[in-house]
Structure 1
């Protein structure tokens, strides 16, 4: 038996012929923890992918009245930002538990296959200071779960922590992204990969830099939609 990567309790696994023949997958988290993740289901906004009865949510309508109109084709996310996911992301991002990226591999592959095949995968970068503090880029580790080619085509100047900013501050903030590999992203259709979509500011600021450098369509894939 193995221990759950989240709660550290023993993982009780079903043992059948698949497991006996060595073909089964190792369970990384227990059933109790797995059940606490809340997937996004049902009708979604065509833009940001949040659960929404309308085809376009109020947030996306507001974006269409800004300079970022049309810069992001759409976003798709897997999970809601419930209290359990908030705790897991805190363990992952702020307490250095990088191995937690592995528990999302199957779901990331499913959503990538459904919406983003044959697109160039570009993870949202951290500034050099933030990368040094954290020790890893959480978006890059999530992107690596897809087992496809990844291009770190963007870089980022130092800025304050987005998690500490309110909605209006995020949307009005300076764009700190810049294109690090313009020759690689030019004329490409790209999917940005990040851990969480909150206001959509991060994805759009990154997308507009890529567009200005010659990229074609830009979409985004995030683990969580808050």
Structure 2
């Protein structure tokens, strides 16, 4: 075999649209240093990052293990101005109305420090998540891998990643917990623990009004599944797919804060 044969172009299939995903075998591919982007350039371009990739030596090192299509999408992404607390896209970089309401509430304030979402919840991502989460196409989560790891390293390095647990009923419906799947990806670079359990089955948050979510102060669907000594003075980041009003992550943060956690933040795929 000629050396040039090892660099031959090949067509692979996009994980989402099943269209051609041009790939070029390089020496780094052969050595296992590259992890190809499972999405084609067109699908990747539909996932603009809310937060810019870091311009550091770490970013350069990361670039060596990222596909050209993904790097191109990162380079051309329009990074929105966002709420500094919840990542909500908005014209100004000050706390949004929801976050101001949370901070003014005696019941909800100081439960989470902030949420970082990877992407805005555009039409493409809405359909992508529906296919992943509700139609059982679990492999679609692998397309979030690079951005999840990069964002964890930049914002939550050394924090313990904790997935949001599903109720038994919801888990039976879907066949998997999408938050656990994301946490399993982060486990490549982070300590992860299943320190929460869900004790009640609630109506889907997507079916509730914003007013209903913001004024829900009675239900406690999550309980601690660990000894308080395992929680005390430690930093945690909750992992979930979508941040809408922030009610779910605040409910999940409460038992951790009550057990003495130093801080609780959230890392989510989308900010709706």
TM range, smaller chain: over 0.9
Deviation per residue, 1:171-192 (Å, 9 max, x gap): 2332311111134323321111
| TM-score of the pair, normalised by structure 2 | 0.78
The equivalent residue for 2:100 is 61
- Consecutive unaligned residues in structure 2, runs of 5 or more: 1-10, 51-78
CA drift at 1:90: 0.3
CA drift at 1:119: 0.7
Partner of residue 195 from structure 1, selected from 241, 244, 249: 241
* Structure 1 segment 52-201 matched on structure 2, within 5 A: 52=90, 53-66=92-105, 67-146=107-186, 147=188, 148-156=190-198, 157-173=200-216, 174-183=219-228, 184-201=230-247
Matched positions, count: 226
CA gap of 1:27–1:38, structure 2 versus 1, over 3 A, is: closer
Task: Flag the structure with more relative contact order, 1 or 2, with Cα contacts below 8 A and sequence separation at least 6.
Answer: 1
CA drift at 1:42: 4.2
Separation of aligned partners in 2, 1:121 and 1:82: 26
CA gap of 1:194–1:21, structure 2 versus 1, over 3 A, is: closer
- Consecutive unaligned residues in structure 1, runs of 5 or more: none
Are the counterparts in 1 of residues 112 and 253 from structure 2 also a CA contact under 8 Å?
Answer: yes
Separation of aligned partners in 2, 1:32 and 1:137: 28
Separation of aligned partners in 1, 2:260 and 2:20: 50
CA drift at 1:22: 5.2
Separation of aligned partners in 2, 1:24 and 1:58: 42
CA gap of 1:128–1:16, structure 2 versus 1, over 3 A, is: same
Larger Rg over CA atoms:
2
Partner of residue 260 from structure 2, selected from 211, 214, 226: 214
CA gap of 1:204–1:13, structure 2 versus 1, over 3 A, is: same
Are the counterparts in 2 of residues 129 and 158 from structure 1 also a CA contact under 8 Å?
Answer: yes
Q: CA RMSD in A?
A: 1.7
CA drift at 1:143: 1.2
Separation of aligned partners in 2, 1:115 and 1:101: 20
Are the counterparts in 2 of residues 77 and 221 from structure 1 also a CA contact under 8 Å?
Answer: yes
